[in-house]
Amino acid sequence: MIALGQFLEVLIGGLMSGVLYSLVALGFVLIFKASGVFNFAQGAMVLLAGLALVRSLDLLVAWGFPVWAAIILGIGFAAVIMAITAWLIERFVIGPLVNQDALTLFMSTIGVTFILEGAAQMIFGSDAYPLRLFPTDAWFLFENLFPGGILVNKLDVWGGFIAGILVAGLAIFFERTKTGRALRAVADDHLAAQSVGIPISWIWFVVWLAAGLVALVAATVWGTKLGVQFSITFLALKALPVLIIGGLTSIPGAIVGGLIVGAGEKIAEVFLGSHIGGGIEYWFAYVLALAVLLVRPQGLFGERIIERI
């Protein structure tokens, strides 16, 4: 018999975890939505941003800067690193491949992944670096209703809050700004966008920069959760089923997909996994994703592509 309190705790914990997956998935969506490129390097970008932040933060604190100033300067430094990365990727990888097919662009991002992973660790180190930007303890809610209460981790709540702000900001950017509309035009057709005077190099730099900044935001939350270390790149694998479910082009879809994956995998692991040996959550997320693919190949919120034949 499953206790209601336990079920609610697992459900809430799963939904919160899902939001953290969404933070990584948003970077994928952003680049795909604006350039049609599936950016395999998003996990490596989270690692690079996290390492740049934590290493500069440690250095600034060691130099005697107050923590608040070190955080601001550290975030600024990491943002600059992500801007340089965006420029390098646009200048030397994506730019020269303009008008190539999607598979070529995708393969190029696999190359970028390995370069970023190697360079990030070579420059900033390959240890596990603690990052403490958010509280990581928990609230225990409704203790009068359920024995032991329902555990809600404060870091997860912060993650949800940040994801909400990101989604709102990105929605406004895409819908209400000239650059956002230009991004969508470039995604629809590179050549057509160029022909009406949209500077494609600038647009692609902007979108990779935006994805880099989203990666930085994800790194602040995941770095606090895990410590900044190489394993943070594995988050890209957690984001894939989120993208399949939510759709590659939808920012709200990334959030909803994250919620479904997070809640689904946690409930499966706790209540089903214990009966079949456990360790099922990693692949169970892909079971959910495949189920959605069969019914709605473009994802729950993805754009339906209709082509005349």
Partner 1 sequence: MLRNKLMLAAAILSGGAFASPAAAQNEQFIPILSYRTGAYAVNGVPYANGVADYYNLVNERDGGINGVKLLVEECETGYATDKGVECYERLKGKGPTGAAFINPLSTGITFALTEKTTTDKIPIITMGYGRADSKNGAVFAYNFPLLGTYWSAADIAIQHIAKEVGGVDKLKGKKISLLFHDSPYGKEPIPMLQVLAKKHGFEFTPIPVTHPGVEQKSQWLAIRQNRPDYVLVWGWGVMNGTAVKEAAAVAYPREKMIGVWWSGAEPDVTPAGDQATGYKALMLQHGAGKFPVHADIEKHVYAKGKGASEPGKVGEVLYNRGMVNAMLGVEAIRKAQEKFGKKPLTGEQVRWGLENLNLSEARIKEMGFEGMLKPIKISCSDHEGARDGRVQQWDGKGWKIISDWYTANQSDTEPLVNDISAKYAAEKNIQPRDCSKES
Which of 80, 123 has the CB closer to partner 1? 123
62 binds partner 1 (CB under 8 A): no
Q: Which of 225, 286, 298, 300 binds partner 1 (CB under 8 A)?
A: 225
Distance CA 46, CA 188 (A): 27
Compose the 268-287 pattern: x for residues touching partner 1 by CB under 8 A, - for all others: -xx--xx--xxx-xx-----
Which of 233, 250 has the CB closer to partner 1? 233
1 binds partner 1 (CB under 8 A): no
We find the least distance from the C-beta atom of residue 51 to partner 1, in angstroms, to be: 11
What are phi and psi for residue 151, nearest 5 degrees?
A: -80, 130
* Location of structure tokens 């550290």: 74
Torsion, Cα of 293, 245, 243, 160 (10° steps): -170
* Location of structure tokens 């602040």: 220
- Residues linked to residue 228 through DSSP beta bridges, in sequence order: 129
CA distances from 106 to 17, 31, 152, 223 (A): 27, 11, 38, 27
111 binds partner 1 (CB under 8 A): no
Tell me which stretch binds partner 1 (CB under 8 A): 22-30, 131-139, 166-174, 178-186: 131-139
Residue 28's identity, in one-letter code, is: F
Which of 142, 234 has the CB closer to partner 1? 234
What are phi and psi for residue 129, nearest 5 degrees?
A: -110, 120
Residues that bind partner 1 (CB under 8 A): 3, 6, 9-10, 13-14, 17, 117-118, 121-130, 132, 136-138, 148, 151, 153, 155, 225-227, 229-232, 234-235, 238, 265-266, 269-270, 273-274, 277-279, 281-282
